[in-house]
């Protein structure tokens, strides 16, 4: 089932064309890594797809026109993990994760079993049981990142859009998070994540979409997208590519030498 379908998506920021005709589909079961150099339009693409900024072109969420959905309906189809890890008030971790259930709870509807199951699943998936009663602002950066992911998971939407979810995490937590997303995809959800770490993208994503200058320049299997030639052209870096432990290893090691 197609959970996200973009056609000819265009968006401007401050008069500059940031998205220039983006088209691709994301089906259930996919873990899509959105890669590309700074300024390629990755974050803008996620924000445009969520209706957070004005755009032109077609946005379909689970077969429905994303532009006509109400905020609450949209939240049932897609959840979002912003890049900024803002937590304005020091509520407890548990209360914060419960915020993810907001679109499922009409005004005055009491908490139901489904809510509890979703929250518990999110707490377990992110391994944050031990600080569930701690104030969210007292956590370290990595811990904050994990509870915010848990919040997005608790929303239990078929599609998750995550903007640089691994930034600021140590290697163990980065890999744990990628595993979580991959597992989510295996269970029939879909995840689209902006990633800067090509190694993580290569290893855990089922598919990579590479952007540059507001356009999709490559789309497909990680091994096919992450060719040293394309990376040299798009990122201007020399990359070491290999296979190890049943998956690809991709490691940029120097700036590309001039032509």
Return the residue of 79, 174, 180, 239 that touches another protein, per CB under 8 A: 79
Nearest residue to 194 (alpha-carbon basis) of 186, 181, 183 = 181
How far is 231 from 186, CA to CA, in rounded Å?
A: 28
Using CB under 8 A, which of 14, 71, 187, 244 touches another protein?
Answer: 71
Contact stretch for another protein (CB under 8 A) within 24-32, 34-42, 84-92, 212-220? 84-92
Give Cβ neighbours of residue 97 (< 8 Å, ≥ 6 apart). Answer: 119, 122, 123, 128, 132, 147, 150, 151, 154
Stretch that binds another protein, among 115-123, 147-155, 196-204, 227-235 (CB under 8 A): 147-155
Question: At CB < 8 A and 24+ separation, what contacts does 11-18 make?
Answer: 11/41, 11/44, 11/48, 11/53, 11/54, 11/55, 11/56, 13/44, 13/53, 17/214, 18/44, 18/214
In the region spanning residues 185 to 224, those forming contacts with another protein, defined by CB under 8 A, are none
* Site size for another protein (CB under 8 A): 35
Strands (E) across 188-233 are located at: 190-194, 207-212, 215-220
Smaller CB separation from another protein, 84 or 254: 84
- Applying CB under 8 A, the span of 31-39, 95-103, 120-128, 206-214 interacting with another protein comes to 95-103
Taking residues 101 to 120 in sequence order and writing x for each that binds another protein by CB under 8 A, - otherwise, the string is: -xx-x-x-------------
Q: Pick from 3, 40, 50, 139: which binds another protein (CB under 8 A)?
A: 50
CB 58 within 8 A of CB 8: yes
Footprint of another protein on this chain (CB under 8 A)?
A: 47, 50-52, 70-76, 78-80, 82, 84, 86-92, 95-96, 99-100, 102-103, 105, 107, 135, 148, 151, 155
């Amino acid at each position: 089932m197609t959970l996200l379908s973009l056609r000819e998506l265009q968006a401007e920021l401050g008069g500059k064309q940031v998205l220039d005709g983006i088209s691709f589909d994301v089906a259930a079961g996919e873990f899509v890594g959105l890669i590309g150099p700074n300024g390629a339009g990755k974050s803008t693409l996620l924000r445009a797809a969520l209706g957070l900024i004005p755009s032109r072109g077609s946005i379909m969420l689970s077969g429905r026109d994303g532009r006509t959905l109400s905020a609450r309906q949209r939240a049932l189809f897609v959840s979002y993990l912003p890049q900024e890890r803002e937590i304005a008030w020091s509520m407890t971790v548990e209360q914060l994760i419960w915020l993810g259930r907001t679109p499922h709870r009409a005004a005055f509807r009491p908490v139901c079993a489904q809510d509890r199951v979703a929250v518990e699943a999110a707490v377990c998936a992110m391994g944050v049981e031990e600080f569930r009663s701690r104030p969210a602002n007292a956590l370290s950066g990595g811990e904050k990142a994990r509870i915010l992911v848990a919040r997005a998971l608790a929303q239990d939407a078929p599609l998750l859009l995550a903007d640089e979810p691994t930034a600021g995490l140590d290697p163990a937590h980065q890999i744990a998070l990628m595993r979580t997303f991959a597992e989510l995809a295996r269970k029939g959800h879909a995840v689209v994540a902006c990633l800067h770490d090509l190694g993580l993208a290569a290893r855990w994503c089922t598919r990579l979409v590479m952007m540059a200058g507001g356009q999709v320049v490559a789309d497909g299997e990680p091994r096919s997208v992450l060719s040293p030639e394309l990376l040299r052209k798009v990122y201007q870096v020399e990359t070491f590519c290999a296979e190890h432990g049943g998956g690809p290893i991709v490691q940029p090691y120097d700036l590309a030498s001039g032509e």
